[in-house]
Amino acid sequence: MTDRSPLAPAAFPALPEIAGVTRRIARAHYKNWDRCDLTYVELTPGTVVAGVTTQNVCCSTEVEMCREGIAHGRARALIVNAGNSNAFTGYRGREAVEQIVDQVAAHLACDPREVFVCSTGVIGVPLPKDKAHAGVAKVISFDTPSASWEETAQTITTTDTFPKGAAASAVVGGTTVQVAGIVKGSGMIAPDMATMLGYIFTDAAVAPDLLQAMLSEATAGSFNAITVDSDTSTSDTVLLFATGRAGNPVLTTRDDPGADALYAAIRSVALDLAQLVVRDGEGASKFIEITVTGAVSDASAKRVALSIANSPLVKTAIAGEDANWGRVVMAVGKAGEPADRDRLAIRFGDHWVAKDGLPVDGYDEGPVAAHLKGQDIRVGADLGLGDGRATVWTCDLTHGYISINADYRS
């Protein structure tokens, strides 16, 4: 990993063990680095799975096959390869994934659709079948010790500067259930499902359709509400596994006792993980929350918020601690959504800098400048047109982003 992001938490959190989940890691040597880069998670028989995947039409074979497994609704294993995305690699890439699936399915004597494979890294290089086979042979061996959550979270990373994890719990039908998740992501981050690789695990017993509904809803306000650079990856996948080992009555509808509590825990973990990705945005020095209110609808508010969040001019101004609210006005106006210049209001932190289409009377830039010197920045725009609102999260744009991506394949 490169130098740790200044926005990183002090330490990796303590995550609970999830009954029915076993983690192992190994070195497949996909890149010339001195670290583990292959992750294996074995799941107890009967584990239910839900997932969301990238909408990028140039997606990888891994994404296509994950979709098939999600439709099947059951899971026995997860393999994550780091350092090579295996995207845009044609039949060679598919053969590599099929080899992994067959190898793990034979080991577990399970349906191949229950083996999920994800890969992340450089696009356009076929995953080396020999390295993948040897790496998988290591991690499915009972001689390989279990990995901690932190070790597992670090193994799935690429340009990340710190491993990312989050946890929550809920009471379902009188039973306490646990939720734990890890994620990797730092660049090529923009909402079009969930731009990174994320894995959430729970010991709750949940029907597949309900689990999918919970993940899709949680994604909208978390993984789909972040952006680093407006680019959506070819490999983005978030998977949610429910082992059912907690022993709660199986949840089948949102009206079941405890269903809302479980959803709240899943959403909490998803939001924490999504915000950690932004805090590790490539070259980031500031974490930015953008809230748009007064839009004609929530969907319109979100599109305006993303227009602000994705603006290089807004992001560089915040990087330079410049209270240039005119750039926010510009980003609102270019969003293609209903807006009225003479009703628009802009704020930084708690300080309104413009209202009704012009600077506020007696505007004092001092408090705004002080807010922009911090690491956690809040920007608000009220359109004055309706009740629609949305919040998204992003980071600033610095020279560090250019340096990381200019040297990415080196």
Residue 405 is labelled as binding a ligand: yes
Is 120 a catalytic site residue? no
Sign of the dihedral through C-alpha 383, 55, 284, 186: positive
Residue 345's alpha-carbon distances to 71, 116, 291, 306, 325, in angstroms, are 45, 47, 12, 17, 10
- Residue-wise over 246-258: b if at least 16 C-beta within 10 A, else e? bebeebeeeebeb
Q: Which residues contact 332 (CB under 8 A, 6 or more apart)?
A: 304, 307, 308, 339, 344, 381, 383
Catalytic residue among 53, 195, 219, 227: 195
Give the position of tokens 């289409």: 357
Residue 184 is labelled as binding a ligand: yes
Of 102, 5, 49, residue with least CA distance to 401:
5
Residue 158 is labelled as binding a ligand: yes
What is the per-residue DSSP string for 167-201?
EEEEEETTEEEEEEEEEE-SSS---SS-SSEEEEE
Q: Quick check: 156 and 126 in contact, CB under 8 A? A: no
Give the position of tokens 């010339």: 32
Listed as own residue / partner, the contacts of 309-316 with beta carbons closer than 8 Å and 24 or more positions apart are 309/227, 309/392, 309/393, 309/394, 310/190, 310/227, 310/229, 310/230, 310/394, 312/397, 314/379, 315/288, 315/394, 315/395, 315/396, 315/397, 316/396, 316/397, 316/398
Taking the C-alpha atoms of residue 167 and residue 19, their distance in angstroms, rounded to an integer, is: 14
Q: Which residues contact 224 (CB under 8 A, 6 or more apart)?
A: 191, 192, 193, 194
Q: Quick check: 114 and 24 in contact, CB under 8 A? A: no
Give the position of tokens 């509590």: 261
Q: Which amino acids are annotated catalytic?
A: 195
Residues flagged as binding site: 158, 184, 195, 282, 405, 410
Bind-site residues for substrate: 158, 184, 195, 282, 405, 410
